[in-house]
Amino acid sequence: MAKPKSLKRIAKPCDEGNLGCICEEDDAVDRDEILQATIHRYLESGDFNGWGTFRLEDPREIQAIIDLIEDRLVDMITHEDDENIHIKRHDPRLLEVQLERLRRPGELNHGCLYPTAKALRHSGVVHDATRPYTSALREGAPQLDFRAFRLDVLEQYRNDPRYRYEVDDIHGTIFRQHPNAEDDEFHKFGFAFNSKTNRYVAAFLRYLNDLSPDQQQSWYRFEVDGDFGLHPDYYRTSILGQFPERVSVFDAFLKEKRIINKMCACMGKPALFRSNYDAYRRPAGFGFLIRPTRAEFSAFCLLLDQLLSDDLNRDFFRGDMEMDERGHMEDGRVIVQPKGTIRLLDEWIEGNFRTDDVGFKRDLMTGFRTVRQARQRPAHRIEDNVFDEVYYQQQRDLILVAYTSVRTLRQCFANYPRCENVKVPEWLFEGRIWSR
């Protein structure tokens, strides 16, 4: 868009560094000049910035802005709306609220104007399919509007070694590690849900705008329509700027295991679990499914069992109980076989803890056995791979029962006298866990 010709007092930065301020004494700027300046600033600033009204004081200028707002050609954002008024992060306030503010003395000292979609359309802005998300901003959408995508949009990054893909089930980042990276080197995203609590990727237009045209078109192919709500903690951290309220069940699972190992040291015993992952330091693939297929679900079952039953350290039980079991062959010969880790844990708990809670041992052992059974099903037969969203729920059920087991086990160990000083984070103690 060509720069407006009649902006005698608009193009010069003021001594405060505010681009677009009016710093010279001259005649009042009329309605058309204000509209042209607002559109030009928005489209040509590089970040869809607003046009500052900091030095507009003439009653005619105020009236011109009122007329533009009433005609739905501009909106005004002030510090009452957002601490950063130089980008339109959210939809502006209602017309009546904007007009009421303009009646206050000095209100223009704290505002920026933005062209409406109507004004941009009339100025010749048209949709550009090569950069659909940049185009949405050029057409007037707020920068923190989000779009929802199928989860498998992330597959291209998870499976490509040129990218470093990090996710914690609330939000994630994608870094391009290739030395010839273009303008899609870094990308942020989060998650959203529909009314059925099905999970989707959510990305703000502000970050989608940074993708190259090829990447924008790639994401667009995965975009879905519907009514979606941001993950509560993604909304809390990204929109409100607050700390997250809860932690993902996957991180909680790993944290429980790590604390159990600390308790083992206090008991003077080897660690119960051989691995020692901590929250936010997950093994690859330990998170919600990206694509709900039998193959991905089976791979998750295998990984979860490797982190649970397979991860039990046999040295923990040594000296406390018989490690092997004896049997007889048909010819009478005695055979000796090592006990499985699940059986060792079951017998160790039975011999070392007493409780009146009849559901205690059930809660503790059910997860170990359920995960082992889920792992063994695909291992014992060849199955065709299928796509079915039911795997999302099956995975959620499986990680919850596994988490219940390790949480119950940690609560069990906490009764040991020497473990009373092992610190348990408040969020874990209170069970502030996201399970979706």
Question: What is the pLDDT tens value at each position of the chain, 436 positions in all?
Answer: 444 443 434 433 343 334 344 444 445 678 999 999 999 999 999 999 999 988 777 888 889 999 999 999 999 999 888 889 999 999 999 999 988 888 877 777 778 999 999 999 999 999 999 999 999 999 999 999 999 999 999 988 888 888 888 888 898 998 877 655 554 456 899 999 999 888 999 999 999 999 999 999 999 999 999 999 999 999 999 988 888 888 999 999 999 999 999 999 999 999 999 999 988 888 988 999 988 899 999 999 999 999 999 999 999 999 888 898 887 777 777 788 899 999 999 999 988 888 877 788 888 899 999 999 999 876 555 556 788 888 989 999 999 999 999 999 999 999 888 898 899 999 999 889 888 7
Indicate the DSSP class of residue 92. P
The DSSP code for 152 is: G
- CA dist 380 and 351 (Å) reads 33
How much is the pLDDT for 425?
A: 92
Domain ranges of the chain: 31-122, 132-238, 247-434
Q: What is the pLDDT of residue 20?
A: 41
Q: Contact 345/312 with Cβ under 8 angstroms?
A: yes
CA atoms within 13 A on the CB side of 198: 18
Look at residue 326 and give its three-state secondary structure.
strand
| 74 backbone dihedrals φ, ψ, rounded to 5° | -140, 160
Q: Between β-strands 247-248 and 433-434, what pairing exists: parallel, antiparallel or unpaired?
A: parallel
- pLDDT at position 309: 95
Phi-psi region of 48 (alpha: psi -120 to 50; beta: other; left: phi over 0): left
Q: Which residue has the tokens 């099903």?
A: 377
Distance separating alpha carbons of residues 336 and 329, to the nearest angstrom? 10
Nearest CA-CA partner of 207 in 183, 240, 182, 179 = 183
- CA distances to 9, 11, 32, 40, 56 from 4, rounded to whole Å, are 12, 10, 10, 7, 18
Q: What is the pLDDT of residue 13?
A: 36
Q: Say what the pLDDT of residue 185 is.
A: 56
**3-state SS assignment for residue 240:** coil
3-state secondary structure of 38: helix
**Cβ–Cβ < 8 Å for 112, 76:** yes
- Residues 405 and 411: their CA atoms lie apart, in Å, by 10
Compute how many other C-beta atoms are within 10 angstroms of the C-beta atom of residue 373.
Answer: 11
**CA gap 191, 167 in Å, rounded:** 10
pTM: 0.79
